[in-house]
Amino acid sequence: MSNENSTLILIGAIVIGVILYNLYMSLSLPAGIVLIIFISVSTIIGLVYFWENHSKPGREKKKTLQKLKQLPKSLLLQSKDSVYMGEDKYLNAKIYLPDHIRSRHVHILGATGSGKTESVILNFLKQDVKRGLGSIILDAKGDNSFIDFLNSWVPLDRLKVFDLGSGQSLTYNPLEVGSPLEAAQRLFSSLVWSEEYYKSKALSTLQRLFERHHKLNGENPKLTDLNNYLDDPETFAASITSEKYPKKMAEKDFSELSGLRDQIRSLCIGHLESSLSPNGNSDMDFSQAKEGAVLYFRLQSLMSPQLVTILGRLIINQLNYLAGTAHRENKANEAKLIPTYLDEFASFACPEFADLISKARSAGMALHFSHQSIGDLAEVSKGFLNRITDNSATKIVLRINDPDSADFFARSFGTELYQKVTQRITNTEEIDLAEVVGEGSQREAHQFRASPDLLKTLPTGVGAVLIAHGEDTETGASSVFKVSFPRLQWSPMSP
């Protein structure tokens, strides 16, 4: 028993004695009754003390209270600048994610059906809408459930939808902002290349076409303009020939641009001609998100995987351009929070996303990106996975089927110290019949804060969450929770 506890018990006994003595003197109670009361009260206090300090439930409760005291208050208290994540299964406490941590990005991982979209993204988005925040959403799956949710929760005047599969979609011109060379580079980086030689040819061609078109028209070309320039050798040569680039060279290079032509043409087929190359300004204007608009890009990867890859990368590259502009102009302090969601983003992951995640905060963009396993991203570029993981302050891992992903994120969450107790048992072949002989040892050891086995067996809608809050606490600058995310409400509550 500690000195502190002994002192408290002694003080308690003295207080009880004084109270009973006063009762005895003022009410003239028999001494026997006073003694019985004293013994009864002391016994109850002793039992309560024993339960709290020696019983397993009591010890667990004490540990829980100690852990709660070690956590930053901002993770436990609701505020106007936070979102509710869910309830911690061990601490029995509500967990919140403050905007200042959220702005350092949220990495969401989980197998199909684990709850990435419904349990995390849509629940966060619902709270954003209620707070009046605008957002930008890239949805590679394009399920009806997502658009149904938006139609239920987002006021009509705030919702802007680009639907890759619909001829009635709002328009989006991915090339209208930036200088000619910047826009040409964004398009080039978004396309898919198999051979380095043709890749370099395509870049120089795009740069010439953009510069020439901008010089003649005062604006960047649309995708349909590029498609027309690349239609045949004569048209191409006429549109690009200069003193430094004679007609014969242009006609020769045209034969080596089939990959570029095919990809540009795929973005101009059918209704895409009008939705991606509008005559006027784009309906999908990213600056509208600052004013509370919800911009939803429904990409539907099952419809055309390569098309979704190209368009998704175009959007990422435009976000990267906007973030880079804000970063150069040092506008981070005045930027309003813009939650930006990339659901199943492995379909359009590209090296430029690693640049975006390091600059997005300057433009107010809080990135929330989800995918299924580390294998989705490992081959994007060297170090890509580590870079985006290191730049995400919050990691939410729902059930994982892939063992490599479980091991990777268990290591990312780190380890903690615990007291490992061992005991000797009788030598027996049947472990169930073994008996403890009384000798043992206790030592400090390390264990995963979220073990691979835990990550592989999480129920749907429950996730291991790492929040790097950056505060100096006894457990370090990050905290780990097992969060049960709330069940999604599919329509607004009636007033």
Query: What is the distance between the alpha carbons of residues 374 and 377, in angstroms, rounded to a whole number?
Result: 6
Which of 446, 397, 137, 96 shows the shortest CA–CA distance to 293?
137
Q: What is the predicted pLDDT for the residue at 300? A: 82
Same domain membership, residue 453 and residue 322: yes
Q: Are strands 338-343 and 365-371 parallel, antiparallel or unpaired?
A: parallel
Same domain assignment for residues 187 and 160: no
Range of the domain at 28: 3-54
Give CA separation, 484 vs 314, 463, 464, in Å.
35, 7, 9
Task: Identify whether residues 478 and 391 lie together within a single domain.
Answer: yes
Cβ atoms 399, 114 nearer than 8 A: yes
- pLDDT at site 495: 37
SS3 content of the chain, % helix, strand, coil (to 5): 50, 15, 30
The verdict on residue 109 lying in a domain is yes
Residue-level pLDDT at 13? 65
What would the pLDDT profile of 70-107 be if each residue is shown by its tens digit? 899 999 999 999 999 999 988 999 999 999 999 999 99
With CA atoms as reference, report the closest residue to 116 among 399, 322, 354, 309: 399
Q: Are residues 258 and 405 in the same domain?
A: no
Instruction: List the Cα angle 367/370/376 in 5-degree steps.
Output: 120
Q: Does 61 reside within a domain? A: no
Q: Which two tokens stand for residue 286?
A: 């990213």
Contact 368, 106 (CB under 8 A): yes
Integer Cα distance of 160 and 147 in angstroms: 11
The whole-number pLDDT of residue 36 equals: 72
Task: Judge if 144 and 154 occupy the same domain.
Answer: yes
Residue 208 within any structural domain of the chain = yes
Same domain, 154 and 227: no
Residue at 276 is within a domain: no
The distance from CA 18 to its chain's CA centroid, rounded to whole angstroms, is: 60
Mapped onto helix, strand or coil, the DSSP state of residue 418 is strand
Tens place of pLDDT per residue across the chain (495 aa): 455 555 666 676 677 666 766 666 666 667 677 667 667 766 777 666 665 665 555 556 666 777 778 899 999 999 999 999 999 988 999 999 999 999 999 999 999 999 999 999 999 999 999 999 999 999 998 888 899 999 999 999 999 999 999 999 999 999 999 999 999 999 999 999 888 778 889 999 999 999 999 999 999 999 999 999 999 999 999 998 888 888 889 888 898 999 999 999 999 999 999 999 999 999 999 999 999 999 999 998 667 889 999 999 999 999 999 998 887 776 655 678 999 999 999 999 999 999 999 999 888 999 999 999 999 888 888 889 999 999 999 999 999 999 999 999 999 999 887 665 666 666 555 556 556 666 666 666 778 899 999 999 999 999 999 999 999 888 789 999 999 999 887 766 433
Residues 165 and 303: their CA atoms lie apart, in Å, by 8
d(CA 50, CA 67): 21
pLDDT reported for residue 243? 83
pLDDT at 342: 97
Q: Is residue 294 part of a domain?
A: yes
User: How much is the pLDDT for 475?
Assistant: 79
| Cα 135 to Cα 356: distance, rounded to the nearest angstrom | 16
| Whole-structure pTM value | 0.84
The reply to whether 207 and 138 lie within a common domain is: no
Q: Does residue 458 sit in the same domain as residue 348?
A: yes
Is 489 inside any structural domain? Answer: no
User: Domain with 134 in it: what CATH number?
Assistant: 3.40.50.300
Q: For residues 335 and 460, state if they share a domain.
A: yes
Contact between residue 418 and residue 447 where contact means Cβ atoms under 8 Å apart: yes
What's the total number of domains in the chain? 4
Q: Find residue 367's DSSP bridge partners.
A: 340
Residues 456 and 434 in one domain: no
Residue 312 and residue 403 in one domain: yes
3-state secondary structure of 482: strand
CA–CA distance, 128 with 122 (Å, rounded to integer): 10
| CB-count burial class (<10 Å; 0-12, 13-18, 19+) for 156 | exposed
Integer Cα distance of 142 and 125 in angstroms: 16
Is residue 201 a part of any domain in this protein?
yes
Domain stops at, among 222, 239, 266: 266
Indicate whether 365 and 464 sit together in one domain. yes
Element (H, E) at 87: strand 82-88
Q: What pLDDT score does 493 carry?
A: 47
pLDDT of residue 444: 66
Q: Per the domain annotation, does 402 fall within a domain? A: yes
